[in-house]
Amino acid sequence: MALMTHAHNQAQANYYDMGTADQERFDEMMELADVRAENSVFLALMVAAAQIAGLRINYTQEIRRCACSCWCPVIFDPHGPDAHCIETDEYNLGRHQCPRCADDHRETA
């Protein structure tokens, strides 16, 4: 993918733009989402976590913090066209790379 022809207009946030109290709230929501089997609860926690990070998503949308080994702080939509799924697991969250990481140094499980 040499040319960046796709538009990067998707909502993203930076984990470190949050204060430490909000980072803790965000982590808690994501951890809760990770262990919730019930889909409606999972989706509500996604909305809550996104709000804390300053992102406005609709119910049924999801967010992830980039799981890249470069310790990327980007919070993004894992179903976006340029996001990359490193691996899914039988639980909810799996590991995803943000569009920039997927482009720069794509990882596979």
Residue ranges that bind Zn ion, judged by CB under 5 A: 66, 68, 70, 72, 74, 98, 101
CA Rg value for the chain? 14
Helix (H) or strand (E) holding 99: helix 99-104
Complex with Zn ion: residue 15 or 92, whichever CB lies closer: 15
Complex with Zn ion: residue 86 or 98, whichever CB lies closer: 98
Complex with Zn ion: residue 30 or 43, whichever CB lies closer: 30
Complex with Zn ion: residue 41 or 105, whichever CB lies closer: 105
Closest separation in Å from C-beta 9 to Zn ion: 17
Whole-angstrom distance, CA of residue 14 vs CA of residue 63: 12
Are the beta carbons of 30 and 93 closer than 8 angstroms?
Answer: yes
Closest separation in Å from C-beta 81 to Zn ion: 15
Which residue has tokens 């569009």?
99
- Alpha-carbon distances, residue 54 vs 10, 23, 41, 73 (angstroms): 13, 11, 20, 14
Closest separation in Å from C-beta 98 to Zn ion: 3
Closest separation in Å from C-beta 12 to Zn ion: 9
